[in-house]
Amino acid sequence: MASAYPIHLVLVGPPGAGKGTQAAMLESQLGLKQISSGDLFRENLKNHTELGQLAKIYIDRGDLVPDNVTIAMVEDRIQRPDCARGVIFDGFPRTLEQARALDEMLALQGSEIRVAPALVASDEVIIDRLTGRRVCRNCGAVYHVCYNAPKVDGVCDVCGGELCQRSDDLPETVRNRLYVYYKQTSPLIGYYYAKDLLIRVDADQPIETVKQAMLQAIGAVIGK
């Protein structure tokens, strides 16, 4: 069995389940490094890396970045010293093919995925969360029309900027994002279940409750 570190985790869950929020919490609580596919793309594009240039060709065409490009970015990223204690993968793997590639690259390092927490959220809750989201055009602060409403309708509390709805959060787009998740990414739940790595956390609950449930469930596994 693997030694105490690195502790690599894969967060699985649909858009709107709160993966980013939970990953950031786990990063600070467990001292692991959060790696999100979005951050990886942005970093590679900004630094004009070879992989970044390659990804840009697809992004500019409006196509998905191929698995092998994404996988190469991850492979490069996890070599760095800040990943030595372990990584929280957020938004990667997105497909079964990526999950298998991740297992292979970790095996080459003599490590493995230790636990895969799945944030389980109902469609109604996801749609409600995402379509109610509003973002400040100026500073990027995030609100929700019901659960985290600004003091003045449509105006940012922080900077007074105008709040808008991202095109990603329009009802038709949210349905399509869910469709893509079910088709492409949800098979990961079965994949990690079969490896006895899956723990399910009810993500319909308030954020604080989900945090506590996550820490408890993960602690029970990695504390072994």
Site residues, Zn ion (CB under 5 A): 136, 138-139, 141, 156, 158-159, 161
Phi-psi group of 97: left, alpha or beta (phi > 0 → left; psi -120 to 50 → alpha; rest → beta): alpha
Angle at 211 between CA 206 and CA 217, to 5 degrees: 125
Residue number with CB closer to Zn ion (137 or 183): 137
Enumerate the β-bridge partners of residue 116: 198
Strands 33-36 and 8-11: unpaired
Whether residue 93 is preceded by a cis peptide bond, meaning omega within 30 degrees of 0, is yes
The backbone torsions φ and ψ at residue 89, rounded to the nearest 5 degrees and listed phi first, read: -85, 125
Residue closer to Zn ion by CB (options 140, 187) is 140
Question: What residues act catalytically?
Answer: 19, 94, 133, 166, 177
State the nearest-atom distance from the C-beta of 152 to Zn ion, in Å.
12
- Which of 112, 87, 95 is closest to 26 using CA atoms? 87
Q: Quick one: 59 or 159, whose CB is closer to Zn ion?
A: 159
Q: CA–CA separation, 26 vs 37, rounded Å? A: 17
Least distance between Zn ion and beta carbon 134 (Å): 11
CB of 133 to Zn ion, least distance (A): 14
CB of 57 or CB of 152, closer to Zn ion: 152
Distance in Å, CB of 164 to Zn ion, minimum: 11
Q: Specify whether the CB–CB gap between 157 and 150 falls below 8 A.
A: yes
